[in-house]
Structure 1
Amino acid sequence: MNFDFSEDQKFLANEARKFLESQCGMGEVRAVLNDDSKAYNEGVWKKVVEMGWLGTSIPEEHGGLGLGMLEMCVLAEEMGRVLAPVPWASTAYFFTEALKLAGSEAQQAEIFPKIVSGDVIGCYAASEGPGNPDAASLKTTFDGKTISGVKVPVTDGDVATHAVVLAKDGKGASLVLVDLSGKGVSKKVLSTLDPTRSHAELTFDKAPATLLGKSGDGAVLNDELLNRVAVLIAFEQLGGASRCLEMAKDYAMERYAFGRPIGGNQAIKHKLAEMYVKNEVARSNCFYGAWALSTDAAELPEAAAAARVAASEAFWFASKENIQTHGGMGFTWEVDCHLFYRRAKLLAVQAGSPKVWKEKLVRAIETKNAA
């Protein structure tokens, strides 16, 4: 079984890397970090839209590129390398995949072309604070036509035009589509460790909402969506971890102390070697997840959890050791190391913390072994 990308997919990765390195450098990331009035980099977002990447997995009949999830994984890794300060994951992962899973033909025909054109920025609102949202704990309610409640935190909720919301529906839960520019919706911007990815508190007060999928299927759809999104986020984390290793290695080769590069010191070699090992473990698990995602394999819950756990560990470790390798200047504002550390900590809790995914991995393995 071959888990590697095809030549076409590797070509896409190479072209995406060249584009992003030229159009989305650390200067573009810091432009958002240093300006409280900016929730994301609109210039970079416009260029991503023009490249057509938002339509990567959207069918051609809806204006998309009609490619697959492997191509999405390729782009996710490249976006992770540059810490793209745009609502890419919220729109291309969460929102688009939710519509693909639960949207009707009419809903997809209406929304998908607007995603491709950049007229719609999406987000996914499930969390209502600490803990995993489920039908028993949800306080946001759907009465068939409107929703009421509070969702927090919602990634890119302050800039999104539309949201897919997990809400209590009778005794179960459902996914609903909400136009955030409509009545009954208010937004409150939240401060997080990584200001380059904005978050908000969304309050709904009898806001008009449309059901996605069947009533009561929300919990099942939420699990399916998170499994799909987990693989894509893992590739973003892998991209960030790979870049951290490159930064640490490059600095270790050019920084001289006592007449020799610090990379020649055994302690630094051990740091770089351990970063490399964790990154390769994460890459193997990410490839497994990509295979399961692209083939709709029964192993997806297990593969997604394994990819998420390994990638979260790799990115956090690589970002931390990158700071350490840079020594006394590694933690300073002027050096870019802290930008990767911020993003590593943020991505680790998106779509569920490592603890949640470790529990999912154990359950998936137990279910497989019991079969």
Structure 2
Amino acid sequence: MDRYALRRQDYSLSADHTELRGAYAKFFKARCPIEVVRAAEASGFDKNLWEQLCATGATTMALPEAAGGDGASLVDLTLVAEELGRSLAPVPWIDHVCTARLLARLGALDPATEATADVVHGRAIVAFDARIGASSGGRLIGSGAIADHLVIRDGDEIVRLSFDTRPAKVDNLGRLPMAWVDPAAADRREVLATGPEAIAHYELAQDEWRLLTAAALVGLVEETARIAAEFAKTRYTMGVAISTLQGISHPLANIAVVVQGAGALVHRAAWFLDNEPGVQPGLAAAAFVYITEEAARAATMAVHVQGGLGVTTESAASAYLLRARGWPLAGGDPAAGAARVAELFAAAQG
């Protein structure tokens, strides 16, 4: 049997994976309650939480050993992303690690330099343009207001930009540190690579961003369902818990199915992207498209379960709804993701 034959069909988690997930679940539960999320909404970023997260090795794990990292797999990274999404953590971890991995593939991270160490350990935040097809002009970048360096595609070039004064944050539904970035206004511009191979590396980073964002949305959906279920168990109508009513219990059961299915798809996509990227090239984009639709639906359901309370700013459910709808938009028009799925699967069929 081919050494990958079984693993290609079995995307369950190992004991090490379960332990890793548990460690980050404990970390975010202790350090990122909803009060921390609310307090960071104005800026979209909690610097103290970011420094604590980096101290756990969450940024170094994402990079290959040749770049000074720990060489974790994409499956490992999806588990961290799930817990980040479950807590709505206001940190740019997904943007940073996807950009850092891109810089490593482009040969732009020299482990002997202090600048590289700053990126590896998260002291210097890097971000890139995750939107499909964006290759010229100004653009909205999800972590553009807090990043020390920005990586963009400009035609057939991959360029690193830096600003003496960071671009101003733009208000957005997902409460991200998003900014409108004009490449022409950058104080420093460095061409990192050019040509088809460089573009392929950039598109891989975009696929990784969609994969990890999909994982974060899986965690978000599972937590928003838990919030709704706990509320439903404590509210009664005509002497019965509303959780026993079909109009409540059936949608909550559907959300549980979504969590299991989307989680398995994310883990499968991560394994293929790591080990056989050319075999199932559309899986990461497919996972993103699927959970993007389902996350918004699940979060809306959680709000409805709580009735009028659900739409108040005091309700955690409202915070989950905003991010369920807003986080995917950092990657541009969600329809572009669906189009990419179609293109990749069509190309795979020859």
Say yes or no: TM over 0.5. Answer: yes
1:285 aligns to 2:285 (yes or no): no
Q: Is the 8 A contact 1:309 1:354 kept in 2?
A: yes
Q: CA deviation at 1:92?
A: 1.6
Partner of 1:315: 295
CA RMSD after TM alignment: 2.2
Partner of 2:221: 241
Deviates more, 1:100-109 or 1:338-347: 100-109
Distance 1:337 1:277 in 2: 20
Distance 1:85 1:186, change over 3 A: closer
1:47 aligns to 2:52 (yes or no): yes
Which residue type is aligned with residue 133 of structure 2?
Answer: N
Which residue type is aligned with residue 329 of structure 2?
Answer: V
Residue of structure 1 aligned with 2:93, choices 88, 112, 121 = 88
Distance 1:48 1:86 in 2: 9
Distance 2:186 2:245 in 1: 63
Q: Is the 8 A contact 2:145 2:166 kept in 1?
A: no
Residue of structure 2 aligned with 1:75, choices 39, 57, 80 = 80
Q: Deviations over 1:133-171 (max 9, x none)?
A: 24xxx23xxxxxxxxxxx331112111111112113xxx
Which residue type is aligned with residue 176 of structure 1?
Answer: V
- Give the secondary-structure state (helix, strand or coil) at the position aligned to 1:190: coil
Q: Is the 8 A contact 1:286 1:311 kept in 2?
A: no
Q: Is the 8 A contact 2:302 2:317 kept in 1?
A: yes
Q: Is the 8 A contact 1:174 1:216 kept in 2?
A: no
Partner of 2:3: none
Between the two proteins, the alignment pairs up a number of residues equal to 341
Q: Is the 8 A contact 2:214 2:287 kept in 1?
A: yes
Q: Is the 8 A contact 2:269 2:283 kept in 1?
A: yes
1:166 aligns to 2:160 (yes or no): no
Partner of 2:311: 331
1:124 aligns to 2:128 (yes or no): yes
Partner of 1:14: 22
Partner of 1:113: 117
What TM-score do you get using the length of structure 2 for normalisation? 0.90
- Give the secondary-structure state (helix, strand or coil) at the position aligned to 1:212: strand
Between the aligned residues of both structures, percent identity stands at 23
User: Where do residues 207-286 of structure 1 align in structure 2 (5 Å cutoff)?
Assistant: 207-215=187-195, 217-286=197-266
Distance 1:100 1:300 in 2: 23
What TM-score do you get using the length of structure 1 for normalisation? 0.85
Q: Deviations over 1:264-314 (max 9, x none)?
A: 111111211222222233223212211112214213431112111111122
Distance 1:267 1:24 in 2: 32
Distance 1:126 1:355, change over 3 A: closer
Q: Is the 8 A contact 2:64 2:72 kept in 1?
A: yes
- Give the secondary-structure state (helix, strand or coil) at the position aligned to 1:45: helix
Q: Deviations over 1:67-114 (max 9, x none)?
A: 222211110111010011112122122x11221232345389554421
Distance 1:108 1:221, change over 3 A: farther
Which residue type is aligned with residue 200 of structure 1?
Answer: A
Which residue type is aligned with residue 269 of structure 1?
Answer: S
Q: Is the 8 A contact 1:24 1:44 kept in 2?
A: yes
Gap regions ≥5 residues in structure 1: 140-150
Q: Is the 8 A contact 1:63 1:116 kept in 2?
A: yes
Partner of 1:177: 160
Q: Is the 8 A contact 1:312 1:348 kept in 2?
A: yes
Distance 2:294 2:188 in 1: 42
Q: Is the 8 A contact 2:167 2:180 kept in 1?
A: yes
Distance 2:63 2:202 in 1: 20
Which residue type is aligned with residue 12 of structure 1?
Answer: L
Deviates more, 1:81-90 or 1:348-357: 348-357
Distance 1:362 1:90 in 2: 25
Distance 1:105 1:99, change over 3 A: closer
1:103 aligns to 2:107 (yes or no): yes
Partner of 2:180: 201
Distance 1:49 1:115 in 2: 11
